[in-house]
Amino acid sequence: MSTTPPRPEAPAPDADPVRLIRHGPRCLRLRWRLEALRALLDGHSFWATGRSQAQLRRMLAGSQVVVSAWRGNALVGFGRATSDGVFRAVLWDVVVAEDEQGRGLGRRIVEELLAGPAVAGVERIYLMTTSGQGFYERLGFSQTQSQQLMLKKTSG
Ligand SMILES: CC(C)(COP(=O)(O)OP(=O)(O)OC[C@H]1O[C@@H](n2cnc3c(N)ncnc32)[C@H](O)[C@@H]1OP(=O)(O)O)[C@@H](O)C(=O)NCCC(=O)NCCS
């Protein structure tokens, strides 16, 4: 009598996949969840901590492309871009919650930012990073020696 070997288990379908939202100009869903945005930035970035809800609201209003990532009701990723729509755009504040990192979510967020109408097609896209060079190189960015980053510190 032959016994059928057990079939390898099919991977369980992801019941609650992470959903990306590219926001409209008013960022309505995020404006209702500024506390969640504040907590994500405070918990998973080192450069964007301590921002107040009022500052975050202004930041969203001043960004031409805003992308958020949600697992169910939980905000698990964020990124934004400013752009003149033709010549120059800059990516800012790309963050993935620690327990979601390493599964392609950061890539999805950056690709969604790059596909935003205010960014797609601009001549040059810049970003500043302290430790994310390897990540951005995977996404087609390269370090440049031809320009220097200049900084003027203000009290703001
Ligand atoms: C950096 C960050 C956004 C990456 O998000 P993530 O979801 O973990 O990245 P992904 O899984 O989408 O990775 C995409 C690719 O980049 C690679 N990668 C990710 N982080 C990397 C790193 N720090 N160095 C080198 N490569 C990296 C991945 O291996 C993957 O490569 P592959 O496409 O060849 O498989 C996330 O780790 C994060 O939020 N970190 C804390 C905040 C931060 O440092 N942001 C960077 C801006 S300064």
Residue 129 inside a domain? The answer is: yes
Residue 2 inside a domain? The answer is: no
Structural domain span for residue 110: 18-138
Residue 152 inside a domain? The answer is: no
State which of 138, 141, 142, 149 you would mutate to test the pocket of ligand 1, scoring each by most atoms of that ligand within 8 A of its C-beta: 138
Interatomic CA distance for residues 65 and 81, integer angstroms:
5
Closest Cα partner for 98 from 82, 131, 76?
Answer: 76
Residue 127 inside a domain? The answer is: yes
Residue 27 inside a domain? The answer is: yes
The pLDDT, as a whole number, for residue 138 is 98
94: CATH: 3.40.630.30
| 28-62: pLDDT as tens digits | 889 999 999 999 999 999 999 999 999 999 999 99
Spacing, Cα 132 to ligand 1 middle (Å):
7
Angle at 141 between CA 139 and CA 147, to 5 degrees: 165
Residue nearest to atom 34 of ligand 1 (CA): 138
Atom of ligand 1 nearest to the CA of 97: 39
Residue 146 inside a domain? The answer is: no
How many folded domains does the chain comprise?
1
Residue 156 inside a domain? The answer is: no
Interatomic CA distance for residues 120 and 131, integer angstroms:
25
Interatomic CA distance for residues 122 and 44, integer angstroms:
29
Ligand 1 pocket check for 129: Cβ under 6 Å: yes
> Contact, 136 vs 129, CB < 8 A?
yes
* pTM, rounded to two decimals: 0.91
Residue 80 inside a domain? The answer is: yes
Spacing, Cα 33 to ligand 1 middle (Å):
25
| 75-108: pLDDT as tens digits | 999 999 999 999 999 999 999 999 999 999 999 9
